Amino acid sequence: MGDVLYNSSGLPTFTLTGLPGLENSQHWMFLLLGTLYIVSIVGNGLILFIVKEEQSLHQPMYYFLSLLSVNDLGVSFSTLPTVLATFCFHLRTISFDSCMAQMFFIHFFSLMESGVLLVMSFDRYVAICNPLHYTTMLTDSRVVYMGLWAIIRSFCMVFPLPFLLKRLLFCKANVLSHAYCLHPDLIHLPCGDITINSIFGLIIVMFTFGLDSALILFSYVLILRSVLAIASREERLNTLNTCVSHLCAVFIFYVPKIAVCMTARFGRHAPRLVYTVMSLIFLFVPPMLNPVIYSIKTKQIRWRLGRMLV
């Protein structure tokens, strides 16, 4: 397997990889990923700017959208340093502490995005099922509390992960499957018992992604029941149209995430390229597409963008 490299602190270092089997195309891969980074950073930055400047967007739905954009920027900036180093400068070594820090932020923002999508589904539920109580139920203070809940829950879930890994002995060749550090990848490297790490990781998935997706589905069952009670077909379509952006955001976030989890836990005999590509889709596609979707579907954002481009 090869010897493990250790730094002066006695902690192991890790070797990052690009796309297995495509080592000769790494520069082209960085051009693709660089384009996705630019679209994500510029798009989410524009969403934040427009929501701040456009008075008509100062309402709960767009406050949550702003939080989603901040989260997507966090995901992009968490992976950017090592992706740039791996694909562009061929610097593949990362220290233990740097790897733990990157792992923390990637998973922190991933869990936080799940929480933000959940509170956004609650916003859509209240707006459609209880429109007369919307302003009284979703006050500015409650919006802040819901945002803080998503942040604090994510932090509490991810905070133990680096410490649970640090207690283990790494004695294998510490080659990672990606150009960044992910917990499901790291727990396969130690020689010791990883039962606690594996169980804790499963608990995180169940009580965040699993629970959130079930609650989002339940909220849309209630929304659909309320919409079907509307007499006019045109009104039903107009009401459902207000949910399209959120449904697209949910779809592009959870489908790749489920695929990554299934591949990591049950697809060990699948080519490593499959797991790597699924992780790339999970981390790169939602931050890029979310601002595009909301820009297309939100009239005020489209109008403001049009004024800025003229």
Give the confidence band of 24 by pLDDT, cuts at 50, 70, 90: low
* DSSP assigned state of 6: B
Q: pLDDT category, 259, cuts 50, 70, 90?
A: confident
Burial class of residue 221 in the structure, from the number of CB atoms within 10 Å of its CB (0-12 exposed, 13-18 middle, 19+ buried): exposed
Q: Could you tell me the domains of the chain? A: 23-309 (1.20.1070.10)
Query: What pLDDT was estimated at residue 90?
Result: 81
Q: Is the pLDDT of residue 21 over 80?
A: no
Using pLDDT thresholds of 50, 70 and 90, give the confidence band for residue 8. very low
If you average pLDDT over residues 198-218, what whole number do you get?
93
Q: Quickly state the pLDDT bin for 257 (edges 50, 70, 90).
A: confident
Unique residue bearing structure tokens 């080519």? 271
Q: Which two tokens stand for residue 134?
A: 């919307």
Strongest mean pLDDT among 5-19, 99-113, 227-241: 99-113
Q: What is the average pLDDT across 192-214? A: 91
Query: What's residue 232's pLDDT?
Result: 86
Pick 277 or 63 by higher pLDDT. Answer: 63
pLDDT at position 245 is 92
25-47: average pLDDT: 87
> Which residue intervals of the chain are DSSP H helices?
26-53, 60-87, 96-129, 134-137, 140-158, 160-166, 183-186, 195-204, 211-228, 233-241, 244-266, 272-297, 299-309
pLDDT bucket at 22, cuts 50 / 70 / 90: low
pLDDT at 185 > cutoff 60: yes
In this predicted structure, what is the pLDDT of residue 300?
84
Q: How far apart are CA 71 and CA 56, in angstroms?
A: 23
HSE-CB of 133 using CA atoms within 13 angstroms: 5
Provide the whole-model pTM. Answer: 0.92
pLDDT band at 1 (very low <50, low <70, confident <90, very high): very low
Reported as a pLDDT band with limits 50, 70 and 90, residue 299 is confident
**When comparing pLDDT for 103 and 299, which is higher?**
103
Contact 223, 124 (CB under 8 A): yes
